[in-house]
Amino acid sequence: MKVEVPRGIEVLVKKAAVDPDFKTELMERRSGAADIIGLELNGAEAAMLDGIPAEQLSAFIANTKVAPRLRPVFRGYAAAAMLAALGVAVAGCIPAATGSRPDEPGPTEPIEKDTGDDATGSQATAQQTDVGWDVETGIRPDIPEEGD
């Protein structure tokens, strides 16, 4: 059975597992050690950390494994980076959906093209691209002309 550890405690224990100086601080100050790395613990996390017997906390730290690629993060003193590392570790390597993106436009050359109707005198500005004409201005088929 896998037990979920509160994130704040997980950060502190993983840091203590890779940083012997921090382990000493955590064992002595308990929830107060969170201040060293700028981590805010909620009330439940602080109470759990302050109430656990020293032998159990020490064993917990000794049995905590930190992936080699995350060790440099936990040797630092930025709680935000440590929390981010845990988020990546939890989410795994599943790529996030980013949606589709249009192709990058090719080189264009502005050209005035007379698409006017002699009766109305309307004209549109167009650009010739590698795939044809792209109309930038002019009549839109989804908006009816006035008078219709």
| Per-residue pLDDT tens digits for 115-139 | 555 555 445 555 555 555 555 555 5
pLDDT at position 62 is: 95
Q: What Cα–Cα distance (Å) separates residue 11 from each residue in 21, 63, 69, 85?
A: 15, 14, 15, 10
| CA-only gyration radius of the chain, Å | 31
Residue with tokens 């002699």: 118
Write the pLDDT tens digit of every residue in 49-69: 999 999 999 999 999 999 888
Looking up tokens 């905590």, which residue turns up? 64
Q: Which two tokens stand for residue 132?
A: 């044809």
Contact (CB, 8 A) for 56 and 64: no
